[in-house]
Amino acid sequence: MPPVHDPQPPLVVGVLAVQGDVREHVRVLTALGAQPRTVRRPGELAGIQGLVIPGGESTTMDKLVRAFDLLDPLRDAIAGGLPVYGSCAGMIMLADRIVDQRADQQTLGGLDITVRRNAFGRQVDSFEEDIAFDGLVDPLHAVFIRAPWVEEVGKDVTVLARVEHGSAAGRIVAVRQGALLATSFHPEVTGDTRVHGLFVEMCRAG
């Protein structure tokens, strides 16, 4: 008889659940075969193999992360190489620098980028656009909702996507640096799982 192989253990991916569109990310991760875990307390970081920081309001997210004593544990996890994906506000949370940050605003850091909050305008200026994404054959339908953009990247940061049309053409909206991935847009709301699929692959690779 052929040897019996144990099935691949489930990939446990945390979703920071202090604020923002948590359920949408949980749904996509589940569809990709991962085992999502909502994270609100430091102890819930134990055993996860990746973390998603969802879209939401970055200043509120920052305050709640500190209120729940998550700031230092999250920074330590990032420094330790945990794969992390941030979308929209999650990108801001991962950025080392913010152009227009509030006086008391802090980030988790880790990505050597400078971001501008609400760079495309207010809620009424939200828009959708098909963009080329490095590594994907077909264009990606991107939804921008009060989104940031990246103004500067460090030498170790790979630019994955830029806006292609309009007054913001050329602006950077997706980046990767090592185990950290970030997008200005919200792939969790489009039904296209390819960005999350890339992140799941990053988590499996460790």
Catalytic residue among 88, 129, 196, 203: 88
The Cα–Cα gap between 47 and 191 comes to: 28
CB contact at 8 A, 98 and 114:
yes
Residue 57 known to be catalytic:
no
Residue 203 known to be catalytic:
no
The Cα–Cα gap between 16 and 23 comes to: 11
Residue 151 known to be catalytic:
no
Catalytic residue among 25, 188, 196, 203: 188
Catalytic residue among 24, 186, 196, 203: 186
Alpha carbon 111 to its chain's center: 11
Mind telling me the catalytic residues?
A: 88, 186, 188
